[in-house]
Amino acid sequence: VNITFDGEVTGFELGDIQVTHATVNNLTGSGSTYTATLAPTSLCNSITIEVPANVVTGANNLPNLAATQVSMGTVDTIDPTIAGPADVVANTSDNGTDDCTTTVALGSPITDDNCFVATVVAQVNGTQIDPDTYAFGIGATTVTWIVSDDAGNTASCEQTVTVEERLDNLVAMAKDLTVQLDASGQVTITPGQVDDGSNYGCNKAPNLSLDRDTFTCDDVDTPVTVTLTATHGNNSDMATATVTVEAAGNCESATVAFTIEAIEDVTLPENTVYTSVIPVLSGNAKSPLTWTLGGIDAGAFSINDSTGVVTMIARDFEAPADANTDNVYEVSITATDSERNSSETSWTVTVENDPVDEMPSQVPSSFPMIPTAFTPNGDGANDTWIIDDLSEDASVRIYDRHGTIIFSSDDGYIRPWDGTSRGSSLPAGSYLYAIQDGPNTYKGTVTILL
């Protein structure tokens, strides 16, 4: 520092210079001009310098007047120090918003300065943030902490914030779909057509699959429920949707009607249980089938829901239960498949009178020899059912287990039964017979042995 008086002085010494926040050394000079060296004792405060009155002698031996106090600033070039908080790992679900971002408790850096710390701020990509409210996205984000002192010196450090994505929130979402068959009567759909925003994590798309993706004419007019499965890693979720299939006219040729083959009318003796044959279907019936009874005498019959076989309890000729009271029972059956196609057939079951019921008991003069079995196997022995001692007017009826007449003779049984019906050999088994010989009636069973 230079000290100049307005005239030559004597007696100016180092101790005459009063300073604050510094030390003064090395005073040199003479007359009216002097130089001293100042060494600041603090860079944080301004230095004041003054020369008080009456410390030197000037011309005419007069003392000096006090000099005006001079203040001079110091230059603080020392940077502050900063130690950042530890790196942080967080999850998008931490703040409960499930919006793929989260706030994070960053902590605070440790700062120091030789003078004074003026400010501490946090920045992301050069923009100052509020550490308490900033929403961090998925991935790694660098937070830069900057400290400044009152001299404008700065220092910085970095903190890494890593936000992980929540991956256990997989959800499958499906929507209903209407599709139209192509010219070949088929259509294939993709999982994406049924998907309605299935996701996991932060709106990421999972792997999708369908339990069924191909539809044909069989699915027309019948909504089909499909299951959409979303998977990611070991996680999975499912949702269902309804697929409505439209034919657009190209399924007409694919629809094949079915019919029930005709069931023959049956005549059976009174007091005989009736069981129909198993209905035979031709065509393309779609399972499952529903069987229903019809006809004016439907109430006299029962039907097996699974097979369509019709039965009727034994009926008394003298007490008819049919609608027309003529012992001709009219019945029909209808089969309906799963596509509402149907077919119907009808037939009659006639209950025949047994004359023995109206005749007084008589003891015949002789009994015919009626074998209980024969072997129509073509070996030349016992190939026909031979009955001796029948009159010329005797009639013979043979019935199968359904009550259908398979053989009849009204000429005295001159041609014995050979175990056939309409030219075809019958299987081994027992068959019901009824023989009327004058006033005498004989009933029983005969067995075909092969």
Q: What is the mean pLDDT of residues 220-248?
A: 91
* Number of Cβ within a 10 Å radius of residue 374: 20
Task: Give which of 93, 82, 151 is closest to 121, Cα–Cα.
Answer: 82
Residue 366 is predicted with a pLDDT of 60
Q: For residue 24, what are the β-bridge partners? A: 38
pLDDT of residue 129: 95
Phi, psi of 88, rounded to the nearest 5 degrees: -125, 140
Most confident of 46-55, 189-198, 215-224: 189-198
Q: Degrees (nearest 5) of the Cα angle 285, 289, 294?
A: 110
Strands (DSSP E) contained in 138-234 are 139-149, 154-164, 177-180, 186-188, 207-210, 214-216, 224-232
pLDDT at 363 over 60: no
Q: What is the pLDDT of residues 48-84, one digit of tens each?
A: 999 998 888 887 788 888 788 888 777 788 999 999 9
Report the SS3 class of residue 398. Answer: strand
Q: What is the pLDDT of residues 167-180, one digit of tens each?
A: 778 899 999 999 99
Q: Which residue has the higher pLDDT, 406 or 284?
A: 406
- pLDDT tier at 357 (50, 70, 90 boundaries)? low
Tell me which of 403 and 111 has the higher pLDDT.
111
Q: Retrieve residue 374's tokens.
A: 């024969």
CA distance 135 to 389: 115
Q: How far apart are CA 234 and CA 118, in angstroms?
A: 53
Coil/strand/helix, residue 300:
helix
- Is this prediction's pTM over 0.75? no
42 — pLDDT class (breaks 50, 70, 90): confident
pLDDT of 450 strictly over 70: yes
Q: What pLDDT band is residue 254 in, cutting at 50, 70 and 90?
A: very low
For the chain, what is the mean pLDDT?
88
* Of 348 and 69, the one with more pLDDT: 348
Three-state SS letters, 70-99: EEECCCCCCCCEEECCCCEEEECCCCCCCC
The alpha-carbon radius of gyration of the chain (Å, integer) is 59
Phi, psi for 359 (deg, rounded to 5): -105, 145
